[in-house]
Amino acid sequence: MTPSSEVAREFPATLAGPYADGLDLPYWEGLRAGELRLQRCGECGLWIWGPRWMCGQCQVFDPEWVAVEAVGRVFSWSRTWHSFIPELAGELPFITVLVELPHAGGRRVLGLLTEDGDADIAIGDAVSGIIQQPADAPWPLLRWQRAGTPPETEQGEHR
């Protein structure tokens, strides 16, 4: 994925990093390795997000972590004007996108859009992920930018 130096807008990494219990550690290690990894049940193929200890459909524990191409479409979005998070106060307004991933059974992940906060975003816009590693942050973060061409639609199961 694109290295962070090519990105116009870099956000501070607020409170990023794994849970104390380690459930989502492979997600964060995946970002360090340059990959978006989500869980997929080896038994039934169910894509899982947020992270879970087991697949509820087949009671298999510790679903494996699988690399997913970080492309998708905007499922919803918001533009924040008020300073809810002190570390992002200097970035207002910013756009958060909820991205539907066609290559992960339609699972949705959150991320900040690296474009200007006044960007004319809409549901259905094609986006692609980039991994940012802010200089003084312990963990990288997945951000999103608008893509020129929409991703192939690969209809996976969505639970």
Partner 1 sequence: MTDSFLRGAAAVVGVSEFHYKRGESPDSELRMTLRAIVEAAADAGVSPREIDGFVSYGGGENDGTVVGSSLMSHRIRWSNMIWGGGGGGAAAAITNAAVAIAAGQAQCVVVYRAMAQQDSGRLGYAKHHFDGHMLPHGVGSPAQACALRTRRMLEHDGVPESAMRSLVLADYFHAQQNPSAAAFGRPLDETGYDASRMIVEPYRLYDCSRENDGAVALILVSADRAEALGPNPAYVLAGSQGAVGGYAVDTENDLDYTSAGFGGTAGVAETLWADAGLGPDQVDVVQVYENFSGSGVAALIDHSLCPPGADAGKVMTVENLTAPHGLLPVNTSGGNLADSFVNGMGLAVEAVRQVRGTSTNQVPDATVSLFIGGPMAAVSSSVLLCTRDVL
Question: Which residues here bind partner 1, judged by CB under 8 A?
Answer: 11, 13-19, 24, 49-50, 52, 75-82, 84-85, 88, 93-94, 96, 98, 107-112, 122-123, 141, 159
Question: What 3-state DSSP class applies to 67?
Answer: strand
**Closest CB 70 distance from partner 1, rounded Å:** 14
Beta bridge partners of 74: 99
What torsion, rounded to 10 degrees, do the Cα atoms 79, 144, 64, 16 define?
-60
**Closest CB 142 distance from partner 1, rounded Å:** 9
Q: Which of 13, 36, 41, 97 binds Zn ion (CB under 5 A)?
A: 41
Nearer to partner 1, 31 or 71 (CB): 31
Q: Based on the shown chain and the rule CB under 5 A, indicate whether residue 58 belongs to the binding site for Zn ion.
A: yes
CA 77 to chain CA centroid, nearest Å? 13
Nearer to Zn ion, 57 or 78 (CB): 57
Q: Which of 43, 62, 64, 87 binds Zn ion (CB under 5 A)?
A: 43
Q: Which does 43 bind (CB under 5 to 8 A by kind): partner 1, Zn ion, none?
A: Zn ion
Cα-Cα end-to-end distance for the chain: 28
What is the spatial distance between Cα 47 and Cα 66, in angstroms, rounded to a whole number?
9
Closest to 50 measured CA to CA, from 94, 13, 12, 19: 19
**Closest CB 46 distance from Zn ion, rounded Å:** 5
